[in-house]
Chain A
Amino acid sequence: QVQLVESGGGLVKPGGSLRLSCAVSGFTFSDYYMSWIRQAPGKGLEWVSNITSSGTFVNYADSVKGRFTISRDNAKNSLYLQMNSLRAEDTAVYYCAREHFYYGSGSTFDWWGQGTLVTVSS
C-alpha cells in the first residue's frame, strides 16, 4: 500500500537549519511530482514547495523562497526539504504529499504522510 513517512523534524533555534526527509513506498515514486505542505499549530494548510518527477524543476512559496530547497532521490524513493535561516513563523507540521494530475481536471494531493513537527524557538 502507499506510504509516505516523514522524518527529521525537531526543535531548532532561529537562524538554524534542518533537513526533512520523506520515504515513499507503494507506488512508482519517479512517476510523480511531490510537494511539501505545512500547517502551523492550530492553523490552516500552506503549500510550501514542489518538485517535478525527474527533479528538474522546483517551485516555492514566496514565504520560503531563498531559504528552503526541495530535492529528491528517485533511486532511494525519497523526498527532501532543506530548511535554512529558520524563523519562528516556520514552526509547523510539515507534510509530504503526492501530486496526482487528472487530465483536464487539475491536480490533487492524493496521498499524504503523517507529518513531522518543526519547532523554531530559542
Chain B
Amino acid sequence: DIQMTQSPSSLSASVGDRVTITCRASQSISRYLNWYQQKPGKAPKLLIYAASSLQSGVPSRFSGSGSGTDFTLTISSLQPEDFATYYCQQSYSTPLYTFGQGTRLEIK
C-alpha cells in the first residue's frame, strides 16, 4: 500500500498568515493527489485535485503543488473559516485509496 505522511500534524496560525502543509507519498504517485478540508462534525470537502487543480467554488487563496512523492497545500492568507483539519489522498493506486493522517490547523 502507498503510505501518505503529512507534516506537520498540527499547526497554529493567525488570520492573514500564509500557511503550507506538506504531504509525502511512500512511492511516486505522479500528480494523483487530492486535498480535502474537514470541519468538526462535518464531511470532508474537496479542495484541490490532481495536485494543483482548484475544485469549483473553492477560494483562490487555496493552491496546491508538487509531483512524484512531495506535495504542498498552501493557503495564501488565512481566513477564520479556514481553521479545520486538512487531508491529502492519493488516487494513484486506484482503488486502494489512502489518506494522510491529517493536519489540524488551529487559531493562534
Mark the stretch among A13-21, A23-31, A39-47, A79-87 that contacts chain B.
A39-47
Cα-based distance from A110 to B44 in the complex (angstroms): 9
Q: B91 in the interface, Cβ–Cβ < 8 Å?
A: yes
Tell me whether A106 and B91 are in contact (CB under 8 A): yes
Which residues on B sit within 8 Å (CB–CB) of A107? 91, 94
Determine which of B49, B55, B96, B99 lies in contact with A106 in the assembled complex, contact meaning CB atoms within 8 Å.
Answer: B49
Contacts of B43 in A (CB 8 A): 95, 112-115
Output the nearest chain B residue to A105 by Cβ-Cβ distance: B50
B87 and A44 contacting across the interface, CB-CB below 8 Å: yes
**Interface size bucket, A side?**
20 to 34
Interface of chain A residues 84 through 110 with chain B (CB within 8 A): 95, 102, 105-110
Is A59 part of the contact surface with B, judged by Cβ < 8 Å? yes
Tell me the dominant secondary structure on chain B's binding face.
loop
Q: A44-B101, A44-B102, A45-B44 are in contact. Are A59 and B95 (CB under 8 A)?
A: yes
State in angstroms the CA–CA spacing of A44 and B89 once bound together: 11
B50–A106 CB distance below 8 A: yes
- Residues on B with C-beta less than 8 A from A45 are 36, 44, 87, 89, 99, 102
